[in-house]
């Protein structure tokens, strides 16, 4: 099977398979669409079982970045890269530098950043070999983690979801089930708890779970059953594909609003959620805070304080999506994708007319 034949191929502009035998690198770079500007999206390091699994992930993630950047109103296209490796391996820096060299060879058509398995400090390692890296630790003052951009956007998105459900956006007294307690999930839990929410949480990593349970008074739930926990909102903040034929009938929440990418295992699952009466905040809208806040070095955007304010616009975007979906009888995913596609089409028309 070639990338052109893959079911997740969506007219991607460029798919590059990269190999550095000396460094031990197997990786893939996917540029989905650059109509609005250079492709931007993180570098994920994960021990994929097969190269086909890695290809599927990078194709889906890069398309998601096109939608995310367009819907957020950013002058950026969508791209992503993946490294097939365990991020805990001792030669991680060699792999990151090798990937940086391949990103550099694209001459600025693609800017990479952090993602699962790649931290802001790792982004600085990539930058040793590449000029096209954002969300680096060196860009921020000591003690600031850029994952706070993503978490803040998720908090804003959950408030918009609650506003749609109850007519009141306050998380106080609401029960939120959070799946995945990495840097983004932990920060989201902190924001929610400070706002008075009750938390049910799960993570396969016990060291990640303990401080949230002990420090925030969260209830620990079996990771295999967190989607079924009784809650007002289920917030997936781990890997994708969590909303599928098995989990959707078991959902214990009235709404889904989380920060993981590609939460729907397949497009049809958006309709399955609607049929079940579950309000869905499309993931590429809810988790756009990270790229809104961190991508400023690419396009000369606002400072950190201004970026945090801009992220609050996610709430208004979701308000519009929820209202349009109800008025037009569509899923929220369909509406969000149409909004992004409309912006890309308008930019392409303007460019062709120039």
Catalytic residues: 80
CA 195 to chain centre: 23
Structure tokens at 70: 């367009």
Q: HSE-up of 179 (CA within 13 Å, CB side)?
A: 28
User: Among all chains, which residue has been given the structure tokens 């399955």?
Assistant: 272
Q: How many CB atoms are located within 10 Å of the residue 305 CB? A: 8
Residues linked to residue 199 through DSSP beta bridges, in sequence order: 176
Structure tokens at 25: 């690198």
Q: How many CB atoms are located within 10 Å of the residue 299 CB? A: 14
Distance CA 253, CA 326 (A): 20
Structure tokens at 128: 């040793």
Residue among 279, 333, 290 at smallest CA distance from 314 = 290
Q: How far apart are the first and last CA of the chain?
A: 39
Residue among 57, 62, 59 at smallest CA distance from 77 = 62
């Amino acid at each position: 099977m070639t990338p052109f034949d893959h079911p997740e191929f969506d007219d991607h502009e460029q798919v590059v398979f990269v190999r550095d035998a000396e460094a031990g690198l197997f990786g893939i770079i996917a540029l989905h669409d650059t109509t609005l500007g250079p492709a931007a999206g993180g570098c994920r390091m994960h021990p994929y079982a097969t190269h086909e699994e890695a290809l599927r992930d990078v194709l889906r993630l890069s398309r998601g970045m096109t939608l995310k950047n367009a819907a957020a109103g950013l002058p950026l296209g969508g791209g992503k890269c993946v490294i097939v490796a365990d991020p805990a391996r001792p030669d991680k820096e060699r792999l990151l530098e090798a990937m940086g060299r391949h990103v550099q060879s694209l001459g600025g058509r693609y800017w990479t950043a952090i993602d699962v398995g790649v931290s802001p400090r790792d982004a600085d390692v990539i930058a040793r070999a590449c000029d096209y890296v954002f969300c680096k630790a060196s860009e921020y003052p000591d003690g600031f983690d850029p994952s706070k951009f993503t978490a803040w956007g998720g908090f804003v998105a959950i408030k918009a979801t609650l506003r749609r459900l109850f007519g009141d956006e306050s998380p106080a007294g609401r029960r939120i089930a959070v799946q995945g307690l990495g840097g983004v999930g932990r920060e989201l839990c902190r924001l929610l708890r400070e706002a008075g929410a009750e938390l049910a949480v799960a993570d396969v990593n016990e060291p990640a779970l303990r401080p949230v349970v002990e420090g925030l008074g969260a209830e620990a739930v079996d990771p295999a059953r967190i989607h079924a926990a009784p809650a007002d909102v289920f917030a997936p903040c781990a890997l994708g594909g969590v909303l599928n034929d098995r989990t959707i009938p078991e959902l214990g929440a009235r709404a889904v609003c989380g920060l993981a990418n590609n939460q729907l295992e397949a497009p049809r699952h958006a309709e399955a959620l609607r049929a079940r009466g579950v309000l869905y905040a499309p993931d590429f809208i809810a988790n756009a805070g990270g790229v809104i806040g961190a991508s400023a070095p690419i396009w000369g955007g606002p400072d950190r304080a201004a970026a945090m304010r801009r992220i609050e616009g996610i709430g208004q975007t979701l308000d519009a999506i929820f209202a349009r979906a109800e008025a037009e009888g569509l899923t929220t995913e369909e509406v969000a994708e149409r909004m992004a596609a409309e912006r890309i089409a308008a930019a392409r028309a303007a460019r062709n007319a120039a």
